[in-house]
A = this chain, B = another copy of it.
Amino acid sequence: MEGGFVSSDEHPNGGRGSPFAPHTAAETTAMLDAVGVESEDHLFDIPEEIEFDGTFDIEPRAERAIREEIAAMLDRNHDLVEFLGRGHYDHYVPSAVDHLADRSEFLTSYTQYQPEVAQGFLQALFEYQSMLVELTGLEVANCSMYDAATALGEAATLAVRVRATSGDRVLVPEHLHDGRRAVLDSYLAGTDAGVESYPMDDGIVDRDALANAIDEGCVMVYAENPTVRGTIEESLGEIGDLADDHDALFCLGSDPVALSLLEEPASVGADVVVGDAALGLGAADGMGLGLFATREAFLRQVPGRLVGTGEDSEGRRAYTLTLQTREQHIRRERATSNICTNQAWVALRAAMHVAWLGPDGLVDLAKESVTRASEIADQFDAIDGVTAPVHDRHHFREVVARTDREASAMKDDLEAEGYAIHAIDDHLVQVCVTETNADRVDDLVAAVEAVA
């Protein structure tokens, strides 16, 4: 212990400049002495001309003040009940997921380059991969991409690589989320391949049109189940066959909840499955978790991290990042992807959430996603001036309705009443129901009745 009292004003915050740098003034002096310089400034080797001597005009604030500031800022968001989906879904996050994932050993750890002190996270990611293997029926799942859109982009570049000599087109459905389409374009910007849409038939893939569109120049056919409009595809096997017949990869977009109930991708010939795996996260302004699974045949073309099992020197099962020669830090410009930082912690949360639900809970959630979509369609259809569902298909979690009024005006009116829905065309709205807003559906329906 240091002796003698000092005035508390003499060294506010113990002489610290940053609350997160532990150095007291005395320690700093001692360390500078050890290094042999007079001040920290002498340690910087920056030419004078480019030294920064201005200010950012950023006032430091106390922790409590920042919490209030951000809370006040976010309070400017209107308190709306959201019936929004289209690729970003709000499922209830169990408290256990929050508490366990927040353990600092997980939250503040790094990519597992030293597996001997990262067995916990590696095992959790291995379990995440395994869950996706079970859900997709494919042999390989990586341990995360950024989101569904970038996973789709990675699938397309994989397709271009493995089909490099034979094509230049990626076929995507007419009904596709704008963001996914735009990101796909970005990921193909460095290749010779382009993206083309094929038509839908009442909300699902128009097989005939797809058959017309596909040819040997096609490297990948993408379809979704459920689609961005919530419809459930009815001919996945045929789409898979069509792709296979033309030596194109069949990439299917889905998510873990849907995968637990709908047709297994492997059984309909999917070569790659992508999508949003973000269970355990809730609504997060678009932050997600990219699911990426594929056939073993493409193992060495997989983008991103893979965790595998091995043995330690005592012969016990151990986990490690594997097949790293695919990755940027080793293969550099010949890597399968540029991805480095990924969404590992979100994958951890997703795995926790799936485990918390268990198979019953997950499948029940999927079944409810079907019944809820069907029920809200019925309720909407009973409203004067509204017809639902627009597509005479089975639906998952969300559904499109036709409105006599202009859709965007109705959306605005509903927003004034406290509800957020999608307006996706002049007279089309879309609504999504999960366990987080199911108890407000009747309120929404009443509000729609009032504004329809």
Q: Please report which residues of chain A, range 55-107, place their CB below 8 angstroms from some CB of chain B when the two chains form the complex.
A: 63-64, 67, 92, 94-95, 99, 102-104
Is A435 in contact with chain B by the CB < 8 A criterion?
Answer: yes
Specify which of B63, B99, B363 is in contact with A94 (CB 8 Å cutoff): B63
One of A8-16, A146-154, A223-231, A408-416 at the interface:
A8-16
| Interface members, chain A 143-166 (any B CB < 8 Å) | none
Distance between A5 CB and nearest chain B CB, rounded to angstroms: 9
In A338-379, which residues have CB < 8 Å from any B CB? 358-361, 363-364, 367
Asked if B64 and A14 make an inter-chain contact with CB atoms under 8 angstroms apart, the answer reads no
Tell me, in angstroms, the Cα distance from A442 to B150 when the chains sit together: 51
Give per-residue flags for A1-38: 1 if the beta carbon is below 8 A from chain B beta carbons, else 0: 00000001001111000000000000000000000000
Q: How far is the CB of A261 from chain B (nearest CB, A)?
A: 10
Would you call A360 and B12 a contact (CB within 8 A)?
A: yes
Q: Quick check: A8 and B364 within 8 Å, CB to CB? A: yes
The answer to whether B14 touches A358, judged by C-beta atoms less than 8 angstroms apart, is: yes
Shortest Cβ distance from A106 into chain B, in angstroms?
A: 12
Q: Are B435 and A13 in contact (CB under 8 A)?
A: no
Residue of B12, B63, B360, B363 touching A13 (CB-CB under 8 A)? B360
User: Would you give the shortest CB distance from A174 to chain B, in whole angstroms?
Assistant: 35
- Give complex CA distance A102, B63 in Å: 19
Chain B residue at smallest Cβ distance from A105: B103
**Other-chain residue from B63, B361, B436 in contact with A95 (beta carbon distance below 8 A):** B63
Task: Give A100's nearest chain B residue, CB to CB.
Answer: B104
CB contacts (< 8 Å) of A13 on chain B: these are 360-361
Q: A99-B102, A102-B99, A103-B103 are in contact. Are A14 and B63 (CB under 8 A)?
A: no
Contacts A92-B64, A94-B63, A435-B64: A360 and B99 contacting too (C-beta < 8 A)?
no
A131 → B minimal CB distance (Å): 14
Residues of B within 8 A of A104 (CB): 99
In the assembled complex, which residues on chain B have CB atoms less than 8 Å from the CB atom of A364?
A: 8
Chain B residues near A8 (CB-CB < 8 A): 359-360, 363-364, 367
- The complex places the Cα of A181 from the Cα of B64 at a distance, in Å, of 35
- Minimal Cβ-Cβ distance residue in B for A358: B14
Q: How far is the CA of A358 from the CA of B13 in the complex (A)?
A: 8
Which residues of chain B are near A63, meaning CB under 8 Å?
A: 94-95
CB distance from A397 to the nearest CB of B (A): 17
Residue of B nearest to A10 (CB): B360
Chain B residues with CB under 8 A of A64:
92, 435-436
Report the Cα distance A13→B435, complex, angstroms. Answer: 17
Q: Given A63-B94, A64-B92, A435-B64, are A11 and B360 neighbors across the interface (CB < 8 Å)?
A: yes
What distance in Å separates the Cβ of A443 from its nearest Cβ neighbour in chain B? Answer: 14
Closest to A11 in B: B360
Distance of A117 from chain B, by nearest CB (Å)? 19
**Closest 7 pairs (CB-CB, A-B):** A8-B360, A8-B363, A64-B92, A8-B364, A14-B358, A63-B94, A14-B360
- Please list the residues of chain A having a beta carbon within 8 angstroms of any beta carbon in chain B: 8, 11-14, 63-64, 67, 92, 94-95, 99, 102-104, 358-361, 363-364, 367, 435-436
User: 20 A-B pairs, CB-CB below 8 angstroms?
Assistant: A8-B359, A8-B360, A8-B363, A8-B364, A8-B367, A11-B360, A12-B360, A13-B360, A13-B361, A14-B358, A14-B360, A63-B94, A63-B95, A64-B92, A64-B435, A64-B436, A67-B95, A99-B102, A99-B104, A103-B103
